[in-house]
Structures are given as C-alpha cells and as structure tokens.
C-alpha cells in the first residue's frame, strides 16, 4: 500500500544527498546507505512529533472521563468507545457531518471553477487595469472576517438569505487565495503551448480547458484541499448566519459540547477526531493529484 502513490510519473528524484530535487535516477542507482537511513530517521521522528497532538486527541477520546488538564498520557487504563456513543446520542452527528460535507464540496467546487477561470484571466489575458483588479482581489484577503461579519450579516438579511444554505455558502463562492495560487501555477506553464494552440485556432476557452487545466492539476488539488478545509472548519460565519438546527455544521455542533462551566473532554475529543478524519482522507485523495505532475502530461 505505501508505495502505490510513488510511481514513475513522479519527478525523478533519487540521490538523497541533501535536501534537493535531484537529477534523474538513470545514470547511477548507487545509494549512499547512511544518508538514506538518516532521511528515514528524520522523517519518522518528524512524523511522530507531528502526529502527537492528533494521537493525544484520540487517546483522550477513548479515556473514560478523559481530561486535558495535567498533560497527555500515552497509556489508557480502560480504553472505551463510550465517548463516541455519547457523541452520537447527543448530536445528530451524521446529519451534521453530511451538512458540512455538502457545503464543503459545493464551496470547493465553486472555488475551483471560479478560481481557475480568474487565474487564467490574470495569467493569460491582457487588459487595462489588470494589476489594479488583481490588487482588488488580493485586498479581499486583507480585512479580517471578524470585522466583516456584521456588515455581511446585515447584507444577507437584506437579501433574505439568512438561515439558508445559499447564505451559508455565499462568502465562499470565490476566494482570492485560490485565484492567486492558481495564477502562479498557470504562469509556470510555458506560453509556447497555448501559442501553438492559438495558431491551430483554439479559443481561450479551449486552451483553458484542454491545455492549462490538465497542467495545473497539482495546484488545483492544493486549492481543493485548502478550500475544503476552510469550509469544513469555518465557525464564525455559520454561527451568525444559521439559526435552524437542520442547517447546523460540524464546528457549530462540536461547540455545543463545550459547557459554560464544565466540559466532557473525552466527548469533545471524540468530536474532534470525527471532524479531523474526513479532511485527512480528503488530503490523502488529493495528494495523488498533487504529485501527478509534469511528467504525466508529457511536457519536455
């Protein structure tokens, strides 16, 4: 299972001598053993360190009466899935998760489409004031949501969109973050390719769909991961725009587990695991595309 995702489609990287993208493996396959072991050691230790908070989350969730005070313990005396049962009893978890899922899928899809198109526009079309318009796009990232939330809420209320899926989704139809990332990716695609296509009579739409989009798949996958994650974890906007329980998303549901005075941390952590695992899966799925890059499409 581990190595299925490291096929020959990858950028050739073999010599592990130092942190660098290395030349093709063809000429020599000799591997300086110690360096390689060192790399593994580094990666394994690093991974354990990075996994630690997640492990702690899992451990707390299976510890009876689990508590966060007093630091983590790695040994659980009587592990139990009780917290998960309580979680499923307290909240309609599947419904909530499904809500979050569809909102995340919709906003990811919309951001990919709107973002890739805008990125193409900025990278490949010439028009007056392009820099100013792109600056305006970036400017939308520069005002914190905390201060936009009230005017945005009033606007939504005026539009009659409060407490609807549309209202929930509206602010994440497009994101300048995605536009920017994809623009950088498209600018790395050699212009000769679309110029050749233009001479063959292809329109911008065709160049975009048939040449550019396949070439920026790693960037698209990256944007997809972040867009999904942003929607999946977003809290402040759903909090104010949603009031009917049937629209409730995961972060809102999990917040209700935190009491004013006391909190059952094992249940909260079970909820945390419940919300982390799907994104981890999304990342694992997306990463096939993140690494299926240039070699795959035959660019030389």
Q: Which residues from 169-228 bind another protein, rule CB under 8 A?
A: 170-171, 173-174, 176-177, 179-181, 184-185, 187-191, 195, 198-199, 201-205, 208, 218-219, 221-222, 225-226
- CB-based contacts of 182: which residues, under 8 Å, 6+ apart? 115, 116, 118, 119, 216, 219, 220, 223
Q: How far apart are CA 124 and CA 130, in angstroms?
A: 11
Cβ-based nearer residue to another protein, 90 or 102: 90
- The DSSP output letter for 263 is B
Site for another protein in 62-121 (CB under 8 A): 67-72, 113-115, 117-118, 120-121
Of these, 59, 96, 269, 270, which contacts another protein (CB under 8 A)? 269
- CB-based contacts of 133: which residues, under 8 Å, 6+ apart? 122
Of these, 32, 37, 41, 43, which contacts another protein (CB under 8 A)? 43
Query: How many residues bind another protein, per CB under 8 A?
Result: 143
With tokens 């233009």, the residue in question is 198
- The DSSP output letter for 246 is G
- CA neighbor of 224 nearest in space, from 106, 145, 74, 89: 106
- Nearest approach, Cβ of 94 to another protein (angstroms)? 19
Q: Give, in order, the Cα–Cα distances in Å from 8 to each of 4, 30, 291.
A: 10, 18, 11
- The DSSP output letter for 258 is B
Cβ-based nearer residue to another protein, 98 or 138: 138
Whether residue 36 contacts residue 16, with contact meaning beta carbons closer than 8 Å, is answered with yes
The CB density around residue 154, as the number of other CB atoms within 10 Å, is: 11
Contact range with another protein by CB under 8 A, out of 76-84, 95-103, 135-143: 135-143
Cβ-based nearer residue to another protein, 34 or 70: 70
Of these, 76, 105, 106, 279, which contacts another protein (CB under 8 A)? 279
Q: How far apart are CA 75 and CA 156, in angstroms?
A: 49
- Nearest approach, Cβ of 98 to another protein (angstroms)? 19
- Nearest approach, Cβ of 99 to another protein (angstroms)? 17
Site for another protein in 145-174 (CB under 8 A): 146-155, 157-158, 162, 170-171, 173-174
- Nearest approach, Cβ of 79 to another protein (angstroms)? 19
Cβ-based nearer residue to another protein, 54 or 102: 54
Whether residue 186 contacts residue 123, with contact meaning beta carbons closer than 8 Å, is answered with yes
With tokens 């489409």, the residue in question is 113
Residue 35 binds another protein, judged by CB under 8 A = no
């Amino acid at each position: 299972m581990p190595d299925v995702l490291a096929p020959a489609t990858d950028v050739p990287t073999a010599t592990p001598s130092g942190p660098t993208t290395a030349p093709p493996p063809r000429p020599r396959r000799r591997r300086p053993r110690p360096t390689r072991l060192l790399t593994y050691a580094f990666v394994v230790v690093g991974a354990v360190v990075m996994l630690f908070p997640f492990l702690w989350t899992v451990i707390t969730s299976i510890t009876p009466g689990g508590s966060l005070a007093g630091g983590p313990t790695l040994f659980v005396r009587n592990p139990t899935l009780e917290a998960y049962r309580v979680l499923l009893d307290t909240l309609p978890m599947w419904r909530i998760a499904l809500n979050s899922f569809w909102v995340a899928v919709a906003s990811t899809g919309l951001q990919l489409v709107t973002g890739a198109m805008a990125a193409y526009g900025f990278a490949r079309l010439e028009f007056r004031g392009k820099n100013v318009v792109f600056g305006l796009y970036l400017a939308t990232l520069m005002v914190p949501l905390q201060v936009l939330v009230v005017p945005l809420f009033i606007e939504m209320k005026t539009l009659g969109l409060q407490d609807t899926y549309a209202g929930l989704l509206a602010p994440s139809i497009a994101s300048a973050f995605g536009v920017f990332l994809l623009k950088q990716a498209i600018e790395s695609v050699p212009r000769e390719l679309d110029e050749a296509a233009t001479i063959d009579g292809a329109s911008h739409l065709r160049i975009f769909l048939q040449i550019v989009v396949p070439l920026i798949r790693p960037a698209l996958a990256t944007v997809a991961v972040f867009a999904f994650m942003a929607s999946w974890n977003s809290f402040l906007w759903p909090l104010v725009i949603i009031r009917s329980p049937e629209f409730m998303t995961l972060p809102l549901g999990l917040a209700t587990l935190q009491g004013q005075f006391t909190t059952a941390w094992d249940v909260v952590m079970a909820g945390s695991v419940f919300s982390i695992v799907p994104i981890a899966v999304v990342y694992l799925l997306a990463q096939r595309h993140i690494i299926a890059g240039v070699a795959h499409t035959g660019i030389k």
